[in-house]
């Protein structure tokens, strides 16, 4: 369905550039909501999953909240709050950093690793989100989004 149809007959665009930007924002909402519904089945948010995924990739090395913040997909997330919630669920452990008392060491727990192993079996559901696109189209989409992101970064607002 075209973005004009989605937004209604009274919605007009100043130009094709605005239309493209609005389309990215609108579509990102759909993608994000799809991810949220998927991870809700595991009583997680997408941001919590992202933290667990990062910790698994670093396992068994500990990670600090500042490292998590740097590599998270959603840079606006409250990492400390997310870590606290995951610790309360038993998916990770938090301990003081012996070298720098301002930092904590965060490590995924065995329970967290088991949960990710369970989720891994269903990740194909997320991949199916773009089932109506060919692999070539997905590559083209990804390249265009990379180019658009680079353009936004140049603006430095």
How far apart, in Å, are the Cα atoms of 17 and each of 22, 52, 148? 9, 37, 11
Number of separate domains in the chain = 1
The whole-model pTM stands at 0.88
How far apart CA 119 and CA 103 sit, in angstroms, is 30
Inform me whether the pLDDT recorded for 63 exceeds 80: yes
- For 104-144, the pLDDT digits (tens) are 999 999 999 999 999 999 999 999 999 999 999 999 999 99
Q: Residue 105: inside a domain, yes or no?
A: yes
Decide: 92 and 112 in contact? Cβ < 8 Å.
yes
Asked if residue 117 belongs to a domain, the reply is yes
Residue 150 domain-assigned (yes or no)? no
Average confidence (pLDDT) over 65-72: 91
Give the integer Cα–Cα distance in Å for 28 and 25: 5
Q: List all residues 6 or more positions away from 145 whose beta carbon is below 8 Å from its beta carbon.
A: 24
Going 62 to 64 to 69 to 71, the CA torsion angle's sign is negative
Residue 43: which CATH number?
1.10.10.10
Decide if 115 contacts 43 (C-beta within 8 A): no
Q: Are 105 and 96 in contact (CB under 8 A)?
A: yes
Closest CA to 79 of 58, 41, 52, 56: 52
Average pLDDT of the segment spanning 34-46: 96
Note whether residue 64 is domain-resident.
Answer: yes
Q: Is 44 inside any structural domain?
A: yes
**pLDDT value at residue 99:** 86
């Amino acid at each position: 369905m075209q973005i004009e149809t989605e937004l209604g007959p009274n919605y007009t665009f100043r130009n094709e550039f605005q239309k493209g930007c609005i389309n990215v924002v609108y579509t990102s909402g759909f993608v994000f909501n799809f991810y949220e519904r998927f991870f809700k089945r595991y009583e997680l948010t997408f941001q919590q999953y992202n933290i667990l995924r990062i910790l698994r990739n670093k396992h068994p090395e500990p990670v600090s909240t500042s490292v998590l913040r740097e590599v998270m997909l959603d840079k606006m997330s409250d990492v400390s709050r997310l870590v606290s919630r995951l610790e309360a669920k038993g998916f990770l452990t938090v301990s003081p950093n012996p070298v720098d008392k301002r930092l904590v060491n965060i490590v995924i727990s065995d329970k967290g690793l088991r949960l990710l192993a369970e989720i891994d079996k269903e990740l194909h559901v997320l991949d199916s989100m773009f089932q109506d696109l060919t692999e070539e189209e997905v590559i083209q989409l990804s390249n265009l989004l990379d180019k658009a992101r680079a353009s936004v970064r140049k603006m430095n607002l």
